[in-house]
């Protein structure tokens, strides 16, 4: 039976992204050695950004923020647990650190400074409220689908700022119509525009996947105004997300990038979660898809003088656990996503939102 995207299951629930109802915990890329010239702190924070947390610790320790290593940025509106590193000589000074929004849970040592991206993924714990009656059964059903199939790997809303329009300033910076002196803010905004283009591309691919559930390949090509034959050999693939000719794949959850030469064979491998398709984050020094996949990709490819990359278009959701508290109408769930993926993608599928 083919995996039909659960759009017909509209779920109504309340999710409040707050430290009480939303927890994110990093899963380190490796075990820390317990010795070495770097002090590793397991830190819990709430109601503050990672940058604000790093500033508080660096000010107390008397070092520059850039001297602290971290693996990733964590949501301000969640209770987050992450690992940071700083010179081991500061161990005694860190013992006296105290902050109402930050707690150091554990300390150890390691040979190397923690670098951005040095994590396997993140464990999310989420409490959904006002889950009444039949909604609980619907959520159970969609979670089962998610466990079997995965979710689209959009960049989350936090990438685009409170008003969702960071990318507009990023575009102006890249076009030269906006000037900004702060390098980190400038790079973040330009990266937001790259993320925006990736999301637009993924939305187009999702639209194709959804149409192929209802229409033939030829009919979908006409509806999407694609050249004849673009969607050849897609309808019979076992996955909801259909692979196209010229697709660039990567081994999952990390591995080498390669071109899909035999689409039927790669669709079968994708079904086993051994590989996954990738999308383009536009920029320099990154490989482009060819063939039919390249036709779609070119619609959202721009000349951007930043490094580009490939990003998984589709990711697995693992270690899913759920608990329903009937008297409170709370639906509590936890799951693990690979690094760079957002819990909002899981929530969108649970709500029955298509794109």
CATH of the domain at 91: 3.30.2350.20
> 217 and 234, same structural domain?
yes
The per-residue pLDDT string of the chain (355 residues; one tens digit each, 9 = 90 and over) reads 567 777 666 777 899 889 999 999 999 999 999 999 999 999 999 999 999 999 999 999 999 998 999 998 898 999 999 999 999 999 999 999 999 999 999 999 999 999 998 999 999 999 999 998 889 999 999 999 999 999 999 998 878 877 788 899 989 998 889 888 888 788 889 999 999 999 999 999 999 999 999 999 999 999 999 999 999 999 999 999 999 999 999 999 888 999 999 999 999 999 999 999 999 999 999 999 999 999 999 999 998 888 999 999 999 999 999 999 999 999 999 999 999 999 999 999 999 876 5
Residue 124 placed within a domain? no
Angle ∠(59,24,77) on CA atoms, nearest 5:
65
> 262 and 159, same structural domain?
yes
Q: What is the DSSP letter of 227?
A: -
Enclosing domain of residue 139: 1-16+129-150+316-355
> 201 and 65, same structural domain?
no
> 309 and 320, same structural domain?
no
Active-site annotation holds for 274 = no
Residue 22 placed within a domain? no
> 104 and 249, same structural domain?
no
Residue 189 placed within a domain? yes
Q: Are 204 and 223 in contact (CB under 8 A)?
A: no
CA distance 191 to 147: 30
CA distance 83 to 352: 34
Residue 224 dihedral angles phi and psi, to the nearest 5°: -95, 0
Residue 21 placed within a domain? no
Residue 23 placed within a domain? no
Q: Which of 75, 140, 233, 262 is catalytic?
A: 75
What domain count does the chain have?
A: 3
> 222 and 212, same structural domain?
yes
> 107 and 226, same structural domain?
no
CA distance 237 to 258: 19
CATH of the domain at 269: 3.30.2340.10
> 202 and 90, same structural domain?
no
- Which of the listed residues 315, 332, 347 is the one where a domain comes to its end? 315
Residues 6 or more apart whose CB falls under 8 angstroms from that of 329 comprise: 129, 130, 131, 132
Cα 319 to Cα 30, 146, 337: the distances in Å are: 19, 11, 9
CA distance 263 to 269: 10
> 304 and 179, same structural domain?
yes
For strands 22-28 and 79-87, give the pairing.
parallel
Residue 267 placed within a domain? yes
> 311 and 263, same structural domain?
yes
DSSP output for 26-78: EEESS---S-SSEEEEEEEEESS-HHHHHHHHHHHHTS-GGGSEES----TTS
Q: Is 128 left (phi over 0), alpha (psi -120 to 50) or beta?
A: beta
> 231 and 171, same structural domain?
yes
Q: Are 294 and 85 in contact (CB under 8 A)?
A: no
Residue 35 placed within a domain? yes
Residue 25 placed within a domain? no
> 308 and 171, same structural domain?
yes
């Amino acid at each position: 039976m083919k995996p039909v995207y659960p759009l017909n299951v509209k779920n109504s629930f309340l999710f409040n992204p707050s430290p009480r109802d939303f927890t994110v915990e990093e899963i380190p890329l490796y075990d820390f050695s317990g010795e070495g010239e770097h002090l590793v702190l397991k830190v819990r924070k709430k109601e503050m950004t990672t940058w604000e947390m790093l500033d508080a610790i660096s000010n107390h320790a008397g070092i520059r923020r850039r001297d602290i290593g971290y693996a990733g940025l964590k949501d301000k509106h969640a209770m987050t647990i992450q690992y940071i590193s700083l010179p081991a000589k500061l161990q005694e000074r860190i013992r006296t650190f105290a902050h109402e929004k930050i707690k150091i849970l554990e300390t150890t040592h390691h040979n190397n400074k923690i670098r951005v991206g040095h994590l396997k993924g993140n464990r999310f714990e989420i409490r959904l409220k006002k889950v009444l009656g039949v909604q609980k059964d619907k959520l159970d059903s969609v979670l089962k689908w998610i466990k079997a199939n995965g979710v689209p790997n959009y960049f989350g809303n936090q990438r685009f700022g409170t008003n969702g329009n960071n990318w507009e300033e990023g575009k102006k910076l890249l076009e030269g119509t906006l000037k900004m002196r702060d390098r980190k803010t400038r790079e973040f905004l330009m990266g937001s525009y790259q993320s925006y283009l990736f999301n637009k591309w993924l939305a187009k691919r999702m639209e194709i996947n959804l149409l192929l559930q209802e229409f033939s390949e030829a009919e979908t090509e006409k509806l999407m105004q694609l050249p004849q034959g673009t969607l050849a050999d897609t309808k019979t693939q076992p996955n909801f997300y259909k692979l196209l000719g010229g697709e660039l794949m990567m081994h999952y959850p990390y591995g080498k990038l390669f071109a899909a030469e035999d689409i039927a064979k790669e669709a079968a491998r994708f079904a086993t979660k051994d590989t996954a398709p990738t999308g383009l984050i536009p920029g320099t020094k990154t490989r482009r898809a060819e063939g039919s996949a390249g036709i779609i990709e070119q619609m959202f490819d721009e000349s951007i003088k930043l490094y580009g990359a490939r990003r998984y278009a589709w990711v697995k959701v693992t270690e899913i656990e759920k608990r329903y508290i009937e008297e409170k109408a709370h639906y509590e769930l936890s799951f693990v996503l690979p690094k760079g993926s957002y819990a909002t993608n899981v929530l969108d599928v649970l709500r029955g939102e298509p794109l």
